Structure 1
Amino acid sequence: MPKRRRSDEDVGEDCARAKRSRTGSRRNLLDISDEILLRILSYLPPRELLRTECVSRRMRALAADGGIWKTKYLDTFTRPRLRAPTVVAINGESVDWKSRFKTKTNWSNGKAKLHELEVARPPAGPVIAKVHNGVIITVDPSGLRAWSSKQGTRTLRAHFPLDATSAATCLSTENVDGQVRVLLGFEDGSWLVYGYERDRFELHCSHLSADGPLLAVSLSHPFAMTVSRTKFLSIYHLATRDSPTSCCKDISTVARFQSDASFSPISVSLRRAPSGIIAAVAYAFERLHSGWCMGLQEIRLSGTGRILESRLASSLETALDRESVRQNKWNMTTRFTSSMPLAVHPQTRSPPTSLSYEHPYLIGTLADNTMMSFLVTSNHDRLEIGPGRRLWGHTSAVSGAEVNNRGKAVSISSRGDEVRVWELEHVMTGFPAKTSTRIRAVDALSSIAAALARRGSGLGLALPEMKRELELNRRWVGFDEQQVAVLGETADHTQVMALYDFT
């Protein structure tokens, strides 16, 4: 039977049937609930999350969710360092995880915004500085000052004139119940303790010692430690009236030692332990035909200031030391561990330019463009300095460095504006990672390049900038979680503070 030809009525019926098969109206991505969108966004890489924030206000709020960025932070920077799978717990729910991820990423890449401050003009003496929780404390003959960030710039927040007739030589800071404590040491052996809170300084206590010019100080409430150029090490107990933030009513000397030899440079620290307080002094000394070595002395104190134990350790072991310990003829509290001396070649046997010790990391900077890193073991049974690791990366002599107790270190070359960040935890444990990262300013062209851009191919405007860069002598570096501060001095003795901001 021949097929019946389709009529217009049949075509209309098919079209109506096709239209009836559609259910509901069209839906887009924004019709999905926030819970499902957060789940989808959690699979995006950080770069795509930042792009998603530009879609709409709703997507900006979702892409900036703290839970997503917390997971990104832990997966990128925390869990890869763990030797076994475990749950990472970080206290505090008010953490801005996105900002923390950004800061950590900038640290890893060495990218920072550069700001410069003129902190002192001649004829002012050398400026001493310390970075502490976003606040930069500086002291010079004009007084004690505090600098901090405000709307992206560094401003002077507090100034306290000093009435002392002697020049300040050293500085230490700590945080006590939200208040910054500042310990200043002076040329005449005196020291002062200030409290910084709410943009103002307040004098807490003062003391005049007979130790002579102070070389280094450290503060950990209620104890203070000083080391003088006359080879005296003194530990004080600061008694307070009611609370840690109140003024001292009594200062007592807990211990006072004198060394037979003079050591420089040195690094001192006070840290808390379950049994009380541990006072430590790290120093460099020279052994005959062995180059320069590291030494460390620890003095353990109870909570009331009673001396429990004093121990020594060095980075070089001799045959006499091994034999005496093996026969147990002497009741020695000194323990040694083998290590390479600081200088390998006789022509480079010069003392370290600086030392920095924050348990368990000890570093020394050398004039041959390298650094030495040591891992210190300090427990109830022993005190040892582990084998040293030489660190390469700088292209000129390293003038200063600072390390924290988590293994992050920052070093500065004497000339060349070369600042490097080191992750010593990776270096000392053999974790596969790059040794260091050079910090570079990313906010624009450098001053020399900018001058060339303004002048074209000429050098006229660039030469003054190049001359200023070559004349700038950098001699100190400090850092916290968000910034690096470099203190330098120009040829006309103007003190300049360069601030590298990673936020």
Structure 2
Amino acid sequence: MKRSHSPSPSTRAKVQHSSETSDASGGRRRNLSFDEVFYDELILVIFSHLSAEDLCTIQSTNKNWARLSQDNQLWKALYLAEHGRVRVRMMRSPMVPPVGQESRAVKPLPTRAQQVIERGVQEEAINWKVLFKLGENWRNGRCTLQTFELSPSTNVRTDVPEDSGPGLILMGDTIIHASIGSSPTIRFMTPGRKSHTIHATSCSVDVYGRITALALDQSIPCSHSRYIRLASFLSTGEFSIFSVDQHSLTASARVLAYLPSHRTERIAPIIQAAYYHPILLTLSTAFTLSIYDLSEHGKVKHTQTLSSFTSYPPTSITISPSHGTRGVLKVVLVSSVPVYPRHWSVGVTELLIKLGDDLGGILTPPALISTRTVRTHDLPLGWIDEEQFKIVQEQWGRKVEKVVDTQTDGKWVVLAPLSASSSSYRRNRPTAFSNALQQYRLTLPPTPSAGAPKLSFVRYLHGPESDVEKIWVADGRCVSLSVDGGIWVWDLEERPRGAKGSREPAWLEGAQVEIGDDASWKGRGSVVFDERRIATVRGGEVQLRRFDV
């Protein structure tokens, strides 16, 4: 039996009177409460059978239940049962408990403490209750809306390249927006603070250029460093590197500028870029990929150029360290590929770039060590059997007349066709599936001997009623922005719907966040998101939706 709490001196008589009764022999017997009979650990075992709604309800019972119902391990079990461990592995940073709640945590059992030692402190630092609430808000589309007005000179223009990179970036709590109006500027907007503007004009005299792409340095997470590098590209072919001070945006400045000797298809205009210091990659409208080395301070070295005659915009690029190989970067480039006679699909190219080494004070330049390409439509050579013919027929049925956007996070690839209509789904299901977003699983073996890369179709993403204008894929989620302002969210990690072995294609219904009031708006927009927010550009304003409410 658990030792009872000592009553306070001011209420001793009242506590003794209410907690003691007479038994049959005339003696005194204690009336113990639920909290006094059981240890905290036993109460936690009982609470582990409750749902999230029940845990929130019992917090109003008393202070002890309110403390125990917020146990981190209870909410961890609920989160893993609802969302799975895959979502945890994709988190960029642990979610530290809010200030004031650290002391409310229940001391773990010896078995839990041993698990914490084995797994490290990072997993224990995650606030699973906040993470569970965040996941439910994403699933239900529950968020708050904040709007940032843009000046007329920074409004979106329609004469930009069709596959221009996102003019919108999330850097910690700051939103970075690149204007493509009459004055090329980069604006930093932080909720609750004044915005700051950096002029990204050309370094040449009497030369005008608009911003066509932005790239944030991925080598250092925004939460781990005060200074962040940002690359800005102009339509003239030149680019600049800015050092951004997250604590004092006014101290941000240009630290490097690249001025080409003349304008060529290799550099003008740049529509996509990826930056992992000291490697910078740029992709032009002529589908020419350039690799730059920024390892030497104040110098830009163009090391290699690659071209493709079978890949076309729209495109997307991701860059990250190669797992298992030190000093090697993996670049995944997704693009549109033609399908005979006049249709389109999607293809993926992987590039492995070895960083330069220091050999006795001599720096070797970075080098491209391997490339691999895989497509959704690959016809086998020679005679094919019945099973291969069935696969070819399914691939042929997924070709589209026009690709609006393609995005990847390194694991999933999403293709957005010209139209996605749920109304046509009710009338003609095959038509709706042919116009819905397509989700593919990208498999890249670590070495060529381990197998060939694969791009496997998973399902159709269904939901938007109007044309999809822009999509963004990150951390196992896909967010789309429609021309009517509608925002839809899909969790790509969920299991596909559709009975196994049935002829009905697998599909997934998205979660609707909002439909804009102005359905006649037809401007070019952008959408990006992170773990907690979605940022969009519509007309003359930037809209920020927060899910950590």
Query: 1:114-193 residue pairs with structure 2 within 5 A?
Result: 114-122=145-153, 124-126=155-157, 128-140=167-179, 141=183, 143-150=185-192, 155-156=193-194, 158-164=196-202, 165-175=208-218, 176=220, 178-179=224-225, 180-193=228-241
Cα distance between partner residues in 1 of 2:42 and 2:339: 67
Cα distance between partner residues in 2 of 1:351 and 1:302: 36
Larger radius of gyration: 1
- Does structure 1 residue 476 correspond to structure 2 residue 522? no
With over 3 angstroms needed to count, the CA separation of the structure-2 counterparts of 1:31 and 1:389, relative to structure 1, is closer
Output the amino acid matched with 1:191: F
Cα distance between partner residues in 2 of 1:203 and 1:160: 9
1:486 corresponds to which residue?
Answer: 536
* 1:95-121 deviation line (CA, Å, top 9, x unaligned): 222111110111122222222222343
Deviation, structure 1 residue 236: 1.2
1:392 corresponds to which residue?
Answer: 462
Of 229, 232, 241, the residue aligned with 2:288 is: 232
Query: Do 1:340 and 1:388's aligned partners in 2 also have CA atoms closer than 8 Å?
Result: no
SS of match in other structure, 1:254: strand
Of 269-278 and 420-429, the range deviating more from structure 2: 420-429
With over 3 angstroms needed to count, the CA separation of the structure-2 counterparts of 1:339 and 1:60, relative to structure 1, is farther
Query: 1:164-313 residue pairs with structure 2 within 5 A?
Result: 164=202, 165-175=208-218, 176=220, 178-179=224-225, 180-196=228-244, 197-200=246-249, 201-209=252-260, 210=263, 211-239=267-295, 248-260=297-309, 263-273=312-322, 274-275=324-325, 276-289=328-341, 291-304=343-356, 305-313=366-374
SS of match in other structure, 1:282: strand
2:510 corresponds to which residue?
Answer: 437
- Does structure 1 residue 372 correspond to structure 2 residue 400? no
Output the amino acid matched with 1:501: F
Of 58, 71, 82, the residue aligned with 1:52 is: 58
Cα distance between partner residues in 1 of 2:200 and 2:492: 39
1:412 corresponds to which residue?
Answer: 481
Cα distance between partner residues in 1 of 2:155 and 2:23: 92
- Give unmatched runs, 5+ long, in structure 2: 1-20, 89-114, 158-165, 203-207, 357-365, 384-390, 421-435, 501-505
Structure with the higher fraction of residues in strand conformation: 1
Cα distance between partner residues in 1 of 2:471 and 2:373: 24
Of 378, 384, 388, the residue aligned with 1:317 is: 378
- Does structure 1 residue 41 correspond to structure 2 residue 47? yes
With over 3 angstroms needed to count, the CA separation of the structure-2 counterparts of 1:80 and 1:475, relative to structure 1, is closer
Deviation, structure 1 residue 314: 1.8
SS of match in other structure, 1:70: helix
Query: Do 1:418 and 1:438's aligned partners in 2 also have CA atoms closer than 8 Å?
Result: no
Cα distance between partner residues in 2 of 1:226 and 1:431: 43
Deviation, structure 1 residue 300: 1.6
With over 3 angstroms needed to count, the CA separation of the structure-2 counterparts of 1:41 and 1:159, relative to structure 1, is farther
SS of match in other structure, 2:341: coil
Output the amino acid matched with 2:168: A
Output the amino acid matched with 1:222: P
With over 3 angstroms needed to count, the CA separation of the structure-2 counterparts of 1:317 and 1:40, relative to structure 1, is closer
Query: Do 1:111 and 1:439's aligned partners in 2 also have CA atoms closer than 8 Å?
Result: no
Output the amino acid matched with 2:490: W
With over 3 angstroms needed to count, the CA separation of the structure-2 counterparts of 1:425 and 1:51, relative to structure 1, is closer
Query: Do 2:200 and 2:232's aligned partners in 1 also have CA atoms closer than 8 Å?
Result: no
Query: What is the root-mean-square deviation in Å for CA atoms of aligned residues?
Result: 3.6
Q: TM-score, normalised by structure 2?
A: 0.69
Query: Do 2:280 and 2:294's aligned partners in 1 also have CA atoms closer than 8 Å?
Result: yes
State the aligned residue count.
Answer: 428
SS of match in other structure, 2:418: coil
1:107 corresponds to which residue?
Answer: 138
Cα distance between partner residues in 1 of 2:498 and 2:353: 34
Deviation, structure 1 residue 256: 0.8
Deviation, structure 1 residue 142: 6.0
Query: Do 2:311 and 2:336's aligned partners in 1 also have CA atoms closer than 8 Å?
Result: no
Cα distance between partner residues in 2 of 1:254 and 1:116: 42
Cα distance between partner residues in 2 of 1:113 and 1:364: 28
Query: Do 1:292 and 1:343's aligned partners in 2 also have CA atoms closer than 8 Å?
Result: no
Cα distance between partner residues in 2 of 1:220 and 1:286: 30
* 1:316-355 deviation line (CA, Å, top 9, x unaligned): 1235xx249xxxxxxxxxxxx958558758xxx5321111
Cα distance between partner residues in 2 of 1:146 and 1:429: 41
Query: Do 2:352 and 2:370's aligned partners in 1 also have CA atoms closer than 8 Å?
Result: yes
Cα distance between partner residues in 2 of 1:262 and 1:428: 29
Output the amino acid matched with 1:291: H
2:403 corresponds to which residue?
Answer: 352
Deviation, structure 1 residue 45: 1.8
Cα distance between partner residues in 1 of 2:339 and 2:330: 27
After superposing on structure 2, the runs of 4+ consecutive aligned residues of structure 1 that deviate more than 6 Å are 428-434
- Give unmatched runs, 5+ long, in structure 1: 1-14, 241-247, 325-336, 448-465
SS of match in other structure, 1:401: strand
With over 3 angstroms needed to count, the CA separation of the structure-2 counterparts of 1:300 and 1:358, relative to structure 1, is same
Cα distance between partner residues in 2 of 1:395 and 1:73: 31
SS of match in other structure, 1:74: helix
1:94 corresponds to which residue?
Answer: 125
2:426 corresponds to which residue?
Answer: none
